[in-house]
Structure 1
């Protein structure tokens, strides 16, 4: 194999072998270290947003009870 036939093979190998000769658990560990923080960040953002929205809705409900009128974002 030489010449033009070798080019597609050489272009396909780097994505497969860019981690080198790692065992399966080593590849898993590398992927966890690389992408794990982003997964954790996504979970934290999701939980904090849910908590903030719940607090905001509770505050709006309490405000509507006190004033007797609709809270922010509510219709008559």
Structure 2
């Protein structure tokens, strides 16, 4: 039996779609070193969704590593 990612009731809180405006805001906050909690608050998403968004944007080459790391410093 294969396991399929993100299926089941516990995964329903994970968001997979974003507007262009939300992506632009995420990229600005990321570049500015905003704390992960601030990014979640601004985008109204949970930390699991943010983790997936960071992975997506990194793989796409849309964001760079930042000195403050994944958690930010502001």
Query: Which of the five TM-score ranges fits, normalised by the shorter chain?
Result: under 0.3
Indicate the structure with greater helix content.
Answer: 1
Larger Rg: 1
TM-score by length of 2: 0.25
Higher relative contact order (CA 8 A, sep 6+): 2
